[in-house]
Structure formats: C-alpha cells, structure tokens
Amino acid sequence: MNDKLTQASVSQAEFGKPSNSLPVVSTKGEVGALPALVAEAGAAAHFAWEEFIYGKLRNPHTRAAYERAIRQFMVHCEALGKDLQQISPRDVGSYLDGLRYAVATKKLILSALRHFFDALVTRHVVILNPAASVRAERLQVIEGKTPEISIEQARMLMRSMDTSHAVGLRDRAIVGILIYTAARVGAIANLRRCDFYDSREQYCLRFHEKGGKSREIPVRHDLRLMIQDYLRAGGLNQADKASPLFRTTRRRSRQLTENPLTSDDIGRMVKRRLYEVGLSLRLSPHSFRVTTITDLLTQGVPLEDVQNLAGHADPRTTRLYDRRQRKVTRNIVERISI
C-alpha cells in the first residue's frame, strides 16, 4: 500500500474513537499489512482491497471508518477459522448482534461490509455477497441529537469576546459565520482568503464542503464588518489569495501564523469560549447550525430556502435540525396536573 499506516489494535470499544491515522489490525503483526484473510485469498483479493479502500472511497473520514469496520470483521472471522469464501450471512448477522454499538454505528458497519464484499464478488474472489441479505435494525430519527444553543446564549457569547486584538476578532468572526451562514465547521476551516470577496452587489463567502460541493452564501452587513475587522487587525487585507482565511497563533503571542485553523482547532476554540462565559460544554460548533435553522423555520421561512442555506440534499435532513416540536412537547408536559 502507498499510504503509511500505523499499527494499532482496534477493539470494539475503540471503534468510534477518532484517529489521525488509519488503524491496522493484523494478527501477523506486519505494519501496514493486509488483513490476514484478504492476504491469504490471493492477488485478486489484494486488488479488490486496494481498489475499494483507496480507489472508491475518496472521503478520508469514510475511508477510515469503513477500513476500521472491515478490519474488525476480518479479525472476527479469522478467529472463527473461516476464510473469505466460507463467510455466510449468519456470520455477518451474528457479528452485528454481538456488537454493543448504537444502531447507527451498526448500520455503518453493515454498509462497509456490503460494499467491500461487492468488490470481492466483482473481482471473482467470492461467489456471493454474504452481507447483501443481512438487514440492520430499524432506525428512525425524528430529531437530531445535537444540543441547541439559545439565541440569548449566542448573543451573550458574541458580546463576551475581547475584540481588542486579532485573536478575539478572529474568534468572533468564526462564531459569526457559524451563526449567520449555518456553515459546517469543516467548511469554515477550509476557507481561503479568496473565498471572502466582493461580487460588486454584495460580499460573499464561498464554502467548499463535503462531497465536492462548492456553495456561495451572501454575507450580511454585520458579519462583513466582523470579517473585515479581523483581516485588518491581522494584516491580512493584502494576503495571498490562496492563503488560509483563519489562522493559528504562535502560542500566546496573539501573532497569526501562516497555518490554517483545523476543524478541531475551531471546536476547541468554541469550547474555550463557552467555558469562559459559563455555558454548557455539551454545546459545539454544530449547535449554532441547529439554532439558525430552527430560528428561520420559526419565522416562517420556507423549508426549501432553509434547506438551500444549510446545503442539505434532502429536506428530511433539514427537519432533523428543527427544534420547534421540542418546545411544544415541553409546554404540554408542564401542563400535566398530577
């Protein structure tokens, strides 16, 4: 394989943990080795593995999650003394039944196995896909789990930031973008200097999001001022167009570097700001997205328009962010007279 993999033992309890490198599970101990069952199945299986993991899976997060799931299952089957041709739907179903994961995680694992065995069938490694007929538990999500930050809490957070220096202005601009564009934190981390521009009619932000999507969102007047104040204080007005829009600092010097803030950096910044004003640390950058979508729907903005702002392909996804029904439920519960 071309990618440098770090040997790691992946247990069921560790499956959901984020990792900076793709985990490798091999009973033979070779760093970066194929799963033992794949290696033993020959060149066609080797080709199918690399074609699927490195050719078809272009999103690095999906690739890491799918590879982790497949490797775990291969180790399980190896412990049962089975090779690839002997794996049956019963093996897949029993494996899923034994996992103490949420239903959504089990569905992800099943999806990984289905697609991988499809690749093995295509390359004539196995005759039938043992995961194709296995059904996952039913999962019906009515409302997302992301906690909502209230409008007053969001305002309090914005007011609390010290804007006498570039770091405070940077953080205020980032939180402003989270609120006033409903953008995902990954898209904000990917912003370049050229992605904030004047289209002559209005200022805009161009976001590069997952799935290769590029979206342009108008910038309201107060958000434009926040970003411009940050650029001025950070000396970035004449910065290279391809350079990062939001940058890290040199320790506690408040001096901006050439390095971009990552999604994790922004997440830690938001947590730190929440802690400073005494707000719940259950909140996250995604909480602003929930609040913005709910606020617009409460004002009667059509679902289609809110869906377009959020960049959702399906309106059902947008509805998961709608917390209006939760407020109705609380009102009803409070009226119980027992």
Span 230-259, pLDDT tens digits: 999 999 999 999 999 999 998 888 889 999
Would you say residue 195 has pLDDT above 60? yes
Would you say residue 7 has pLDDT above 50? no
Q: What is the pLDDT of residue 12?
A: 37
Q: Note whether 203 and 321 are same-domain residues.
A: yes
Q: Note whether 65 and 14 are same-domain residues.
A: yes
Which amino acid appears at position 207 of this protein? Answer: F
Would you say residue 142 has pLDDT above 60? no
Q: Which of 168 and 15 is assigned the larger pLDDT?
A: 168
Number of compact structural domains in the chain = 2
Q: Note whether 315 and 173 are same-domain residues.
A: yes
Q: What is the pLDDT of residue 200?
A: 85
Q: What is the pLDDT of residue 10?
A: 35
Taking alpha carbons only, the member of 268, 232, 229, 225 closest to residue 248 is: 268
Q: Note whether 169 and 113 are same-domain residues.
A: no
Contacts of 176 (CB under 8 A, 6+ apart): 158, 222, 223, 226, 227
Would you say residue 14 has pLDDT above 50? no
Would you say residue 27 has pLDDT above 60? no
Query: Residue 257 is part of a domain; what is its CATH number?
Result: 1.10.443.10
Q: What is the pLDDT of residue 5?
A: 34
Identify the band that residue 59 occupies on the pLDDT scale cut at 50, 70 and 90. confident
Note if the pTM is more than 0.75.
no
Question: Quick check: is 134 in a domain?
Answer: no
Question: Quick check: is 338 in a domain?
Answer: no
Question: Quick check: is 129 in a domain?
Answer: no
Instruction: Compute the distance between CA of residue 143 and CA of residue 278 in angstroms, rounded to an integer.
Output: 26
Q: Note whether 190 and 243 are same-domain residues.
A: yes
Taking alpha carbons only, the member of 141, 154, 5 closest to residue 67 is: 5
Q: What tens digit of pLDDT does each residue of 204-237 get?
A: 999 988 767 788 999 999 999 999 999 999 999 9
Question: How many Cβ atoms from other residues are within 10 Å of residue 329's Cβ?
Answer: 11
Structural domain for 258, as ranges: 151-332
Tokens 């947008």 belong to residue: 318
Q: Note whether 193 and 325 are same-domain residues.
A: yes
Would you say residue 320 has pLDDT above 80? no
